[in-house]
Amino acid sequence: MNKTVLITGCRSGFGKLAALECARRGNTVYAGLRDLSTADPLIAEAGDLPVIPVQLDVTSAADREQVVARILAERGRIDALVNNAGVALGGYVEQVDEDEVRRVFEVNVIAVWALTKAVLPAMRQQRAGSVVMVGSVSGRLALPGLGIYAASKHALEGMSEALRHEVAPFGVLVTLVEPGPYKTDILGRNRTLSRNAGAEGSPYAAYTAKAEQLFDTIAESGAGDPQDVANKIADLAQASSAGLRHPMGGSARVRILMKDHGPFALLEWAIGKATRPA
């Protein structure tokens, strides 16, 4: 069956790859872009695949409303929503400014809630639908220097778990993909540090430098192939049943196992050893 799929954050990374993968599987994909003028690379890669770029800044109520209305007018249904758009922020909690915290939560939590809320009436009426949340291993385990990002992903975990219970009676499936490090722009072009992270004389300066070195190492050799995550997203977008949480990548699974089954003191020691300067 040809399904209608809406995916956010399709300029690059998981979103772009998932849009192409879902389309390869015979689905019609509305690919959300914060700036529609950046659509050319996606259009070129899609070729004849049924990928339709749409203007969708997830923090814009007008964009959300217009996209949902357009899809329902053109297709009559929305079978799957993939909440992929998100922002990261590096910086120790004490350093981060309020506007930076609000921005992370606006994109990673509030916009996800708002867009999901916008598509649910159609899914309930259909008595079928899939909502795929692209979370992070940071939603299960918080590392120093990523506290605000981890807080937003922890919030997404809680919201998704409750939502799964709430909409299951209406035939709507909610799932969470929890990637560890993958070779996407979040480790490159979209790697963002708090404006105070490099402040002269900061007590966290050496720790921030250590964290940046660690991210550079991961980006160069330790990150996985993002196509694996795109394939999982496409699987879940088409699924009628699946578990709630889907950790992705060996390091993510190891960290979650340590968090869930090992003594916290051991985890604390390991994180300290990896993130504290010598």
- Geometric angle at alpha carbon 38, from 91 and 231, rounded to 5°: 75
Site of tokens 């300290």: 272
What's the predicted TM-score (pTM) here?
0.93
Domain region containing 55: 4-275
Q: Compute CA distances 138 → 122, 131, 144, 157, 222, whole Å.
A: 31, 20, 11, 10, 17
Q: What is the pLDDT of residue 209?
A: 86
90 — alpha (psi -120 to 50), left (phi > 0) or beta? beta
Q: Answer whether 233's CB lies under 8 Å from 131's CB.
A: no
Residue of 30, 92, 149, 182 with catalytic role = 149
Q: Compute CA distances 73 → 4, 66, 123, whole Å.
A: 12, 10, 14
Query: Which stretches of 80-183 are assigned E, i.e. beta strand?
Result: 80-83, 129-134, 172-179
**Gyration radius (Cα) of the chain, Å:** 19
Q: What is the pLDDT of residue 165?
A: 98
pLDDT tens digits, the chain, 278 residues: what are they?
A: 799 999 999 999 999 999 999 999 999 999 999 999 999 999 999 999 999 999 999 999 999 999 999 999 999 999 999 999 999 999 999 999 999 999 999 999 999 999 999 999 999 999 999 999 999 999 999 999 999 999 999 999 999 999 999 999 999 999 999 999 887 766 555 568 999 987 888 899 888 888 888 777 766 666 789 999 999 999 999 999 999 999 998 777 777 887 888 798 988 898 888 888 87
Q: Answer whether 82's CB lies under 8 Å from 129's CB.
A: no
| Range list of H helices, 37-146 | 40-46, 61-75, 98-105, 111-126
Q: Compute CA distances 152 → 89, 155, 157, 158, whole Å.
A: 10, 5, 9, 10
* Catalytic status, residue 149: yes
The domain that holds 64 is classified in CATH as 3.40.50.720
Q: What share of the chain is helix, strand, coil (3-state, %, to 5)?
A: 55, 15, 30
| Calpha distance 122→272 (Å, rounded) | 47
The tally of domains found in the chain comes to: 1
